[in-house]
Structure 1
C-alpha cells in the first residue's frame, strides 16, 4: 500500500502583491491558475492531503483551489490549520466569507485557543512538520515575514520546496 503524501501551502498576503484590493482581485485568476497547476501536479504525484494556513491571500486561494478539485479527485482532502479562533475577526466581509467556506468544507486543526505572539509561527511549523512538500507563492523574494520563515524551516527539515515568484505579470519557478 502506498503511503499517503501531504503538502502545505505558504504565501504572502494581498498587500505584498499589490497596494490595493482591486488590483489583487485582478491578479487572483493568475494566482488560482498557478495554484491549480501546482496542486494538480502534486495530486498526480500521489499527494492527497493539503494543509492551508487560512490567511488572506495565497492561503485562502490555495484552499479554494483544493476544494475545487475534489469533484475530480475525491481522494484529496483539505486541512485548515487555524492559528487561533478569531483569526479573521478584523477582515473585510469578502475574506471572512471565503474563510468560512473553507472552514465549513474541510477538516480543521486549531493551534491555539486564543491569540498569542507565536501562534502564526506555530501554525507554519505544524504545516511543515505534517507535510512532505511545501508550495510557496511570493510577490517578491524576502528574508522577512512568515512565508520566508516557513521556507527556511522547511529547508532545515529537508522538505522539498516549490517556490513560485511573481514578477511583472509572470511566475518564475
Structure 2
C-alpha cells in the first residue's frame, strides 16, 4: 500500500521515448529524493515508464529507503512488449517494492484506470510529454486539474500549461 501520497511521485511519458533525457531523469529523481520524496510510481509501459523505473532502482542502490511501486494496468501486459522490453519489465517488477496489478487481463479503458491510479496517489508527476495526443496528455491534464506539481523533461514543454524543466535546475 502506498503509505503517503503527499511524498509520492508518478511518472508518465511516451512509449516512443528513446533515452534522450536519461541524465535529466536521473537528476530529477535525485532532486526529488532531496526534497523528501521516497515513493515512486511507474505505470510500467515501454518507453519513459520503464526508463523511470530503472532510474528509481538506480537511486535506490544509493538510498535504500527509496520505494518503487510498479503499477501494471493488467496481468500479462508484458506479453505485448518486444523481447528486450519484456526482460526490462520483468527485472523492474521483480525489483519493485510493491506491484499493483489493476486488472486480471486487458480490457478497454485499463490504461486510463492505471493513469488515474498514478495521479491520484502522487503529489508530483514527472513526464516526458511532447504535445502529442494520447495517454500522457490525458494523465497530465488530470494531474493539472487536481493541482499536482508537474515536471516535464521534454524540451518542447508539450504545449500544456506546464513548462519544461531545464536540466540546469537539477
TM-score, normalisation: structure 2: 0.85
CA drift of 1:92 comes to 1.1
Query: What corresponds to 1:47 in structure 2?
Result: 37
Distance 1:88 1:71 in 2: 25
Cα shift readout 1:116-143 (whole Å, capped 9, x = no counterpart): 11110000100110101000112x213x
Query: What corresponds to 2:144 in structure 1?
Result: 155
> Are 1:65 and 2:29 matched, yes or no?
no
TM-score, normalisation: structure 1: 0.84
CA drift of 1:31 comes to 2.2
Distance 1:88 1:166 in 2: 29
Query: Which portions of structure 1, spanning 4 or more consecutive aligned residues, are displaced by more than 6 angstroms?
Result: none
Distance 1:7 1:43 in 2: 10
Query: What corresponds to 1:37 in structure 2?
Result: 27
SS at structure 2 position matched to 1:56 = coil
Unmatched 5+ stretches in structure 2: 157-163, 166-170
Unmatched 5+ stretches in structure 1: 18-23
RMSD, aligned CA: 1.6
Query: What corresponds to 1:12 in structure 2?
Result: 14
5 Å-filtered alignment, 1:16-165, equals 17=17, 24=18, 28=19, 30-106=20-96, 107-138=98-129, 140-142=130-132, 144-165=133-154
State the aligned residue count: 154
Distance 1:165 1:32 in 2: 11
Distance 1:54 1:66 in 2: 12
